[in-house]
Amino acid sequence: MHRVLAARYPDAHCELDFTSPFQLLVATVLSAQTTDVRVNSVTPALFGTWLTPADLAGADREALEAVLRPVGFYRAKAASVQGLAARLVDAYGGEVPRRLEDLVTLPGVGRKTANVVRGDAFGLPGITVDTHVGRLSRRFGWTEQEDPVAVEDDLAALFPKSDWTPLSHRVIFHGRRTCHARRPACGACPLARDCPSYGVGETDPVKARALVKGLVQAGLE
Domain borders along the chain are 2-9+127-211, 21-120
Residue 108 — left, alpha, or beta (φ > 0 → left; ψ -120 to 50 → alpha)? Answer: left
Q: How far apart are CA 122 and CA 44, in angstroms?
A: 22
Three state DSSP letters for 141-204: CCCCCCCHHHHHHHHHHHCCHHHHHHHHHHHHHHHHHCCCCCCCCHHHCCCCCCCCCCCCCCCC
With 70 as the cut, is the pLDDT of residue 219 above it?
A: no
Cβ–Cβ under 8 Å, residues 7 and 189: no
Q: Which residue in 136, 137, 130 sits closest to 157, CA to CA?
A: 137
Q: In the 8-state DSSP scheme, what is residue 94?
A: T
Residue 182: how many other CB atoms lie within 10 Å: 5
- The number of beta carbons lying within 10 Å of the beta carbon of residue 121 is 19
Cβ within 8 Å of residue 174, ≥6 positions away: 5, 8, 9, 132, 136, 191
- At 144-166, the pLDDT tens digits run 999 999 999 999 999 999 999 99
174-195 average pLDDT score: 96
Please report the pLDDT score of residue 221 as a whole number.
53
Q: Which of 55, 77, 120, 130 is catalytic?
A: 130
| Superfamily of domain covering 21-120 | Hypothetical protein; domain 2 (1.10.340.30)
Q: Determine the pLDDT at residue 214.
A: 79
Contacts of 36 (CB under 8 A, 6+ apart): 15, 16
What distance in Å separates the CA atoms of residue 39 and residue 74, rounded to the nearest whole number? 11
Please say if 130 is a catalytic residue: yes
* CATH code of the domain made up of 2-9+127-211: 1.10.1670.10
- Catalytic one of 112, 120, 204, 213: 112
| pLDDT tens sequence across 62-77 | 999 999 999 999 999 9
DSSP string, 30-66: HTTTS-HHHHHHHHHHHHHH--SHHHHHTS-HHHHHH
**Mean pLDDT of all residues in the chain?**
95
- Residue 94, pLDDT > 90, answer yes
pLDDT of residue 212: 95
Q: Alpha-carbon distance 73 to 217, whole Å?
A: 30
Angle at 187 (CA atoms; ends 185, 190), nearest 5 degrees = 90
Report the alpha-carbon angle 46-47-49, nearest 5.
70
Whether 205 shows a pLDDT value over 60: the answer reads yes
